Structure formats: C-alpha cells, structure tokens
C-alpha cells in the first residue's frame, strides 16, 4: 500500500503483537471507508498504477489516506467519512484530468468513474 497526504510518522503508527494469554483485550475498530477510482477511455479501462494521486479534505486541507492499486483502478482509504477531493497526474495522449469531489460514507467505498478525453 502506498501512503499519501501527510506521512504517517512512527509516533502515529502502532504495531501490535498478539499472543495467547489469559488477559482479554477489546479493540474498537471502525469499518474501512474510502473510494475506488476507475479511469476509462470510452469503454476501455485505463490502468492507474503509474499515476500520482492526491487526496484532500474539503477546503484543500491535507488528510491522511492510503492508496492500493488494484489492476483496473485504485482504492483510496481515508480515515473518516466525509467529502474529499481527488486529483491525479495527466496521462499522455489525454486532456488533463480535472479534480473530482467524492462523498465517502462510513464502512463503504464509493465508486468514482473518470471518463478520459483524448487530445486532438
């Protein structure tokens, strides 16, 4: 997984090693959420592995996010539900890709289809 936005510092990352014991621990975990970006040239999917994606919270504020490239698209994991803005590099042979707004709901991954336009 590639991480974007402000880098996760070692102070924010916590590694937990679980071992059998008599002590019982309860860990509260929120369901993952984010959005899936799919690029298309007409009806043909365009791979997104080589693109640099940026995710911002409303107003352009930086936010924590993670990216997972899934063959035909990219999954963006965000830390909480809300409105986000995604931008990415241009692709050779296509017009620049305009930034898009996406609404993320708790526990869901919102699909975001981006039609590409060829340069003349």
Q: Which residue has the tokens 């296509």?
A: 94
> Which tens digits make up the pLDDT trace of 80-92?
899 999 998 888 8
The reported pLDDT for the residue numbered 13 is 59
Architecture (CATH level 2) of domain 2-6+23-114: Sandwich (2.60)
Q: Which residue has the tokens 């997104």?
A: 48
DSSP label at residue 69: E
DSSP label at residue 41: E
Whether 77 contacts 34, CB under 8 Å? yes
Q: Can you tell me the mean pLDDT for 70-95?
A: 89
Q: Give the domain ranges of the chain.
A: 2-6+23-114
Confidence of residue 109 (pLDDT cuts 50, 70, 90): very high
Would the pTM of this model clear 0.85, i.e. be above it? Answer: no
Q: Can you tell me the mean pLDDT for 42-63?
A: 85
């Amino acid at each position: 997984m590639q991480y974007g936005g402000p880098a996760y510092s070692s102070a924010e990352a916590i590694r937990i090693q679980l071992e059998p014991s008599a002590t019982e621990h309860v860990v509260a975990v929120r369901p993952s959420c984010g959005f899936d970006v799919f690029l298309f040239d007409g009806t043909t999917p365009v791979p997104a592995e080589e693109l640099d994606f940026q995710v911002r919270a409303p107003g352009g504020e930086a936010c924590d996010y993670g990216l997972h490239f899934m063959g035909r698209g990219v999954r963006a994991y965000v830390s909480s539900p809300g409105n986000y803005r995604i931008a990415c590099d241009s692709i050779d042979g296509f017009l620049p890709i305009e930034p898009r707004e996406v609404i993320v709901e708790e526990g869901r991954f919102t699909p975001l289809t981006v039609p590409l336009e060829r340069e003349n």
